[in-house]
Amino acid sequence: MKQTIGSILSIGGLIGVIYFGIQYMNESESFELLGADVAVSTGDWVPILVSLIILVVGVLVYRSE
């Protein structure tokens, strides 16, 4: 039972990290300043952090017996 819950959490966390990571990268803006390309992010990093924590918890639950 723990392995099932752990794998569900791990897969959900991985999907969340990928989805919110792509969304975060799409929300960043770049411009050129004195010949250098400067990127400014306007995205929110909290969903990525929460998804990463869920991924780690899922892996720990999966590996515990």
Cα angle 32-25-44, degrees, rounded to a multiple of 5: 110
**What are 60's two structure tokens?**
């720990």
**Which pTM was predicted?**
0.78
CA 50 to chain centre: 7
The pLDDT assigned to 14 comes to 96
The pLDDT assigned to 47 comes to 92
**What are 20's two structure tokens?**
């919110």
Note down pLDDT in tens along the chain; length 65 residues: 889 999 999 999 999 999 999 998 888 777 777 777 777 777 788 999 999 999 999 999 999 87
The pLDDT assigned to 59 comes to 95
The pLDDT assigned to 44 comes to 82
The pLDDT assigned to 45 comes to 85
Decide: 41 and 20 in contact? Cβ < 8 Å: no
